[in-house]
Amino acid sequence: MQQDQLSNNRNELWNLSLRDLFYKYIRFLPLFLLSTALALFAAYAYLRYATPIYSVGGTMYIKAEKSGGQRDKFEDLFVNDKAQNIQSEIEVLKSKPLMYRVVEKLNLQFNYYAKGKIKTPNIYKQSPFSIKGINLADSARQFSMKIKFLGDREFTVNDEATVFKAGQQFKNNDGEFQLIRVPGMAVGKDYVVTWIPTWAMASSLAGAVQVTPKSVGTGILIIGMQTPTSQMGADVINTLMEEYASYTVDEKNQTSDKTLVFI
């Protein structure tokens, strides 16, 4: 009985004309329009306020060192020294000591954020000012400061009543600092400056870096990371490769010095 009723409903639906279908479902048109509007609004809000994640990367060629001779040919055939060397270099590139040098060179301990109504984005290399740490109370402790500008060169720190001027040194519980204005850049109103200890920042960035061989048997490595700040990610990758080259030169020089001392 139920199957016969379903069959009749299907036949009735197929026999309906386009005009009949239109008048049958026109009463649901406001619901369709409302659902579409809500979906479009949700998509706009997500794209407007969600933090984008960028993928940045670069390639590096690791040249295998060979001293020549039959022994090297034997090792190429029976010993996978080249693969071991590539894996060792991958671990060096992902190491915290090497990233420590990157953080020091780029001065990534201080991070600058523009405070908005909903989002507070990182404004790496776009901040109208920089903070110089003259004397930190505890450089191993993370802290943050609220910077509120009252004009082009006057500001307050952590909502306190004292007004400072750009270039003037100021003190708080975290230490002694100096705010330096960047010429030619317009200043907003509210900012947040965070200090992250060098080792903590290096550990975070080293964990985000991915190093993989481009193909098996080659010395070409792909270095990449995902970051909400594309310019910072690009600078980290480029500086990491530069510091790696400097690190390998230093290691070779130390090895040569030790060999000469031994001889």
- Cβ proximity of 240 and 95 under 8 Å: no
- Report the percent of the chain where pLDDT is more than 90: 51
Contacts 24+ apart (CB under 8 A), 114-119: 114/188, 114/190, 114/191, 115/146, 115/190, 115/191, 115/192, 118/49, 119/49, 119/51
Per-residue model confidence as pLDDT tens digits over 140-177: 999 999 999 998 999 999 999 999 999 999 999 999 99
Whole-angstrom Cα distance, residue 150 to residue 190? 9
Whole-angstrom Cα distance, residue 52 to residue 233? 13
Q: Write the single-letter amino acid at 228.
A: P
Measured CA to CA in angstroms, residue 98 lies from 21, 110, 146 at distances of 69, 19, 31
Pull the structure tokens for residue 65: 């060192």
Which residues are CB-neighbours of 173 under 8 A, at least 6 positions away? 137
Pull the structure tokens for residue 170: 């100021």
Helix axes 230-262, 96-106, angle to 10 degrees: 120
pLDDT at residue 226 greater than cutoff 50: yes
pLDDT band at 181, cuts 50/70/90? very high
Per-residue model confidence as pLDDT tens digits over 233-243: 999 999 999 99
The alpha helices in the chain, defined as continuous H runs, are 2-15, 18-25, 29-49, 70-78, 81-93, 96-106, 198-208, 230-262
Which residues are CB-neighbours of 22 under 8 A, at least 6 positions away? none
Mean pLDDT check: name the lowest of 128-137, 182-191, 211-220: 211-220
Q: What is the pLDDT of residue 214?
A: 83
Find the helix or strand (DSSP H, E) in which 138 lies.
none
Q: How many CB atoms lie within 10 A of CB 246?
A: 13
pLDDT band at 261, cuts 50/70/90? low
Per-residue model confidence as pLDDT tens digits over 185-200: 999 999 999 999 999 9
Q: What is the pLDDT of residue 218?
A: 74
Structure letter (DSSP) for residue 122: B
Q: What's the mean pLDDT in 75-100?
A: 74
Which residues are CB-neighbours of 78 under 8 A, at least 6 positions away? none
Whole-angstrom Cα distance, residue 161 to residue 258? 59
Per-residue model confidence as pLDDT tens digits over 93-121: 999 999 999 999 999 999 999 988 888 89
- Cβ proximity of 86 and 62 under 8 Å: yes
Which residues are CB-neighbours of 153 under 8 A, at least 6 positions away? 165, 166, 181
CA pseudo-torsion sign 81, 87, 90, 96: negative
